[in-house]
Structure 1
Amino acid sequence: MRSWLKEPLIHFLLAGGLLFAAYAWFHQGEGGDARVVRITAEELGWLKETWARQWHRPPDEREFRNLVNDYLKEVLLALEARELGLDENDTVVRRRLAQKMAFLVQDTASLAEPAETELREFYDVTRAHYRIPARISFTQIFFDTESSARQGLKEIATRRPAELGDRILLERHFEGADEQAVASLFGREFAETVFALEPGSWHGPVESGYGFHLVRIGGRQAARQRPFEEVRTQVREAWQRSRQAEAGERYFAELLKKYDVIVDGGSAAPLATRRETGR
């Protein structure tokens, strides 16, 4: 036993243990594994601003202390959740992070201000979006069958229009309707036919999804192009949306270069940087 205690290795281990115990004693409570969580002045300002926008006044001392406490609780819980891996394989978290990244890219793109010439060029390319469509006012009389509609066309010269036609839950008169509105009610072919009719006299039968109609055009407004000066604000907003979409596509293209993407299942289809629309 005495010979064992004389071994230098044993002395070294005992001394090391004593040093380790002393270090632990003098540094207890310091939490060597603790991480710093800093709430910045910008975050405090954001908390105050958010409160003021909601309640239309700044928070008092107690309310602000509660705001900071709730925010700190949220930050710490989020840190612990990530440490436990709770964010992995979570669809909601993944989509939220992707959405925030997309917003970041879009916000960066929206900082650009277009030159007047660039804005006018964009207007010229997209001028169809700023065109006021043709409109018509018309009266229709509905018939269940084509033969009864033809008979009604013969009688309309000697009888009042209100006395003719079959019952249907549709208005008889339409004022200032564009072709899309007419098509949504009566069908595309009916709308195209009616917009080609001349005003002033009764025409028909014109077939729709309901049956047959006699139609009289009361007035017509030709389509017109809205000038650039009239729609400059809308053109600028559309230009910004277009640039944001382009920025997102470029960023995604760069991500595809950054990462090696492997699609399991043997799919050989190339990944596209532009969203497929089917057109």
Structure 2
Amino acid sequence: MSASAMSNAAQTLDLDDAAARPAERGGNSDASAQEVAPSRARVTALRKLVREPLLHFLVLGGLIFAADSVLHPPASNEKVITVSKALRQSFIDNFDEDKQRTPSSADLQKMIDAWVASEILYREGKALGVDRGDEMIRDRVAFKLQLLIFDQVRVPEPTEAQLRAWFADNHARFDAPERVSFFMTPATDEATARQQLEDIRGQRESEELRDQTRVILGRPVASLAGGYGEGFRDGLLKMPTGDWSLLQSNDGWHVVRLDAREPGTPAKLEDVRDEAAKIWHTDETRRQAWDAVTRLKANYTIRYEP
């Protein structure tokens, strides 16, 4: 007899004994039989159900499904890579611009495969933290988000009042600046520059010095301090036109002659309206984009280490 058959026989024996015990304790045997009969019927039905192959299949299927769910959990959004229609179209457009022809199916699939591989490597690398401490990756991701934010900003045309108020605060960006034109010799030490000044005034400078002397035409006065130093700027503006003098720049000493000086002229909105409207639009876009970043910043706590 098999182990299963022996177990079934033992279960049957236990049930038969249980049915006989009420009669042994005395009492109405008919009533006891009536009470035992439904119990035995339920047990018999349960025994048949346990032997039912369909139940075994359902239980086994449930166990397999549960095990598969543990071993192979459903993909999260981080593991889903979507190749959108817009992305495929961008590949086609870029390919057409470079190759001047429409990509074949094989060409398109090759570009998609390369992009998918790159996306997988990026996500896995980010999950491993390889981007931490890499300023280049950080800056590129930040720049990409910046472009996305700018792309979402929609700025209408300025009203006349808005444009005039903005122009009043920014007219210096359109004013014609004061300019100067001058000659200057190469930078050298003070003693050499003094000797060169004497030679130039006596009209006996060398041909080499003539060739090395530069002419600066229409240089904005506002840029002189940054290029040569404040002392050079102040000295040049005090010089009379046409005279040679010594001036010290950030690089050394020069022999300099102021050749011309043109005063600046203020701009009028009517003359630069189109350009002003474009710059206003750029400034307003930047302002709104920065406001968006500021709103994001409200979600963060900024700590400064001592």
Q: TM-score, normalised by structure 1?
A: 0.65
Find the aligned partners of 1:79 and 1:205 in 2 and give their Cα distance: 63
Question: Cα gap change, 1:23/1:237 in structure 2, threshold over 3 Å: closer, same or farther?
Answer: same
SS in 1 for 2:280: helix
Task: Give the counterpart of 2:190 among 144, 147, 168.
Answer: 144
Distance 1:89 1:52 in 2: 33
Aligned to 2:235: 193
Alignment partner of 1:49 is 2:93: yes
Query: Which residue is equivalent to 2:168?
Result: 124
Larger RCO (CA under 8 A, 6+ residues apart): 1
CA contact (8 A) 2:244 2:257 kept: yes
Q: Which has the higher mean CA deviation after the structures are superposed, 47-56 or 177-186?
A: 177-186
Deviation of 1:184 (Å): 5.4
Instruction: Report the alpha carbon displacement of residue 187 of structure 1 after superposing the two structures with TM.
Output: 3.0
Provide the rounded CA distance (Å) in 2 between the counterparts of 1:234 and 1:137: 28
1:222 corresponds to which residue?
A: 263
Q: Deviations over 1:133-190 (max 9, x none)?
A: 22223345788349957x949x94xx32x539x9699525433333356545643212
SS at match of 1:54: helix
Cα distance in 1 for residues equivalent to 2:226 and 2:303: 43
Aligned to 1:235: 276
Q: Does 1:19 align with 2:39?
A: no
Measured in 1, the distance between the counterparts of 2:190 and 2:110 equals: 71
Distance (Å, rounded) in 1 between the aligned partners of 2:299 and 2:107:
46
Corresponding residue for residue 86 of structure 1: 128
Opposite residue 20 of structure 1, the aligned amino acid is V
Q: Deviations over 1:213-256 (max 9, x none)?
A: 4x443322222234435544543443234223322332233234
1:222 alignment partner AA: P
Q: 1:133 aligns with which of 169, 177, 185?
A: 177
Q: Distance in 2 between matches of 1:193 and 1:224?
A: 23
Q: Distance in 1 between matches of 2:145 and 2:210?
A: 53
Q: Given the superposition, is the C-alpha separation of residues 59 and 88 from structure 1 closer, same or farther in structure 2, using an over 3 Å criterion?
A: same
Rate the CA distance shift 1:90–1:245 in 2: closer, same or farther, 3 A: same
CA contact (8 A) 2:175 2:265 kept: yes
- Name the SS for the 1:132 alignment partner: coil
Q: Is the 8 A contact 1:145 1:212 kept in 2?
A: no
CA contact (8 A) 2:155 2:284 kept: no
The number of residue pairs the alignment matches comes to: 254
Q: Is the 8 A contact 1:144 1:211 kept in 2?
A: yes
Tell me, in whole angstroms, the C-alpha distance in 2 between the residues paired with 1:187 and 1:107.
41
The structure carrying a bigger helix percent of its residues is: 2
Decide which of 281, 286, 289 is 1:245's aligned counterpart: 286
RMSD: 4.7
Q: Percent identity?
A: 18
Q: 1:110, 1:78 → 2: CA distance?
A: 31
SS at match of 2:94: helix
- Counterparts in 2 of 1:204 and 1:100: CA distance versus 1, 3 Å: closer
CA drift at 1:103: 1.8
State the one-letter code of the partner of 2:190.
D
Larger radius of gyration: 2
In the other structure, the counterpart of 1:103 is 147
The equivalences for 1:169-184 within 5 A come to: 171=213, 173-179=215-221, 182-183=224-225
**What's the secondary structure of 1:174's corresponding residue?**
strand
TM-score, structure 2 as length reference: 0.60
> Are 1:254 and 2:298 counterparts?
no
Does the residue aligned with 2:153 lie in a helix, a strand or coil?
helix
Q: Which runs of 5+ in 2 are unaligned?
A: 15-42
Cα offset for 1:22? 3.7
In structure 1, give the amino acid aligned to 2:88.
Answer: L
Shift of 1:194: 1.4
Distance in 2 (alpha carbons) for counterparts of 1:79 and 1:172:
56
Note if contact 1:146-1:212 (Cα within 8 Å) is conserved in structure 2. Answer: no
State the distance in 2 between where 1:71 and 1:199 align. 65
The verdict on how the C-alpha distance between 1:146 and 1:86 changes in structure 2, with shifts beyond 3 A counting, is: closer
Q: Cα–Cα, structure 1 residues 181 and 100, in superposed 2: closer, same or farther, change >3 Å?
A: closer
Question: Relative to 1, partners in 2 of residues 1:248 and 1:38: Cα closer, same or farther, differing over 3 Å?
Answer: closer
Structure 1 unaligned residues grouped into runs of 5+: 268-279
